[in-house]
Amino acid sequence: MRGGDNEFTLKAYKALFDSLYPQLCVFAYKYLNDLDISKDITQEVFVKVWEDKITFQNENHATGFFYKAVKNKCLNYLKSKQYKVTERYELANVETYETEEYYISDAVVIETTAVIEKAINKLPEKAAQVIRLSIEDYTNNQIADELSISVNTVKDHKKVAYRKLRDFLSFLTIK
């Protein structure tokens, strides 16, 4: 995560930002229900890390740090006077958001979704389209109509996609 002289390289920092920013915005949105504020808070965390030259042992350490920092910044925002004045402040929701279970379950869902999306992006284009429609609960017939292909072609794309996804995501299985 650092360059040779123990400083963050801009390239490494940009790669970290690109890999984490979208999921962290979604994570913040779960707390705030406002996409613009979620983006602002996530960016503020990245800026603070850059300015403070915070070091990380590895990518997993960085990921955990950013999730926790975004969570804390969201909770601080929800407790702030600005939020209390401009929004309906519900203490019960903030207390729920502060629980470790809420934090962990949301972080796991968002990270898993990002991993699956990256795997789907590795599929051939038509197979990826079929899988995305399938995830949206389209039937094989609806997928065939939507993509102007036969139902058998849909089934073939699904077979290819599932086989490749199993390979791409095999690291997730418990042994």
What is the three-state SS of the chain?
Answer: CCCCCCCCCHHHHHHHHHHHHHHHHHHHHHHHCCHHHHHHHHHHHHHHHHHHCCCCCCHHHHHHHHHHHHHHHHHHHHHCHHHHHHCCCCHHHHHHHCCHHHHHHHHHHHHHHHHHHHHHHCCCHHHHHHHHHHHCCCCHHHHHHHHCCCHHHHHHHHHHHHHHHHHHCHHHCCC
CATH code of the domain occupying 122-175? 1.10.10
Task: Quickly state the pLDDT bin for 16 (edges 50, 70, 90).
Answer: confident
What pLDDT, on the 0 to 100 scale, is given for residue 5? 42
What pLDDT, on the 0 to 100 scale, is given for residue 55? 81
* Averaged pLDDT, 157-169: 86
Report if pTM > 0.85: no
Q: What is the pLDDT of residues 77-98, one digit of tens each?
A: 887 755 554 455 454 465 566 5
**Percent over 90 (pLDDT), the chain:** 22
- Which is more confidently placed, 173 or 58? 58
Domain with CATH 1.10.10 in the chain: 122-175
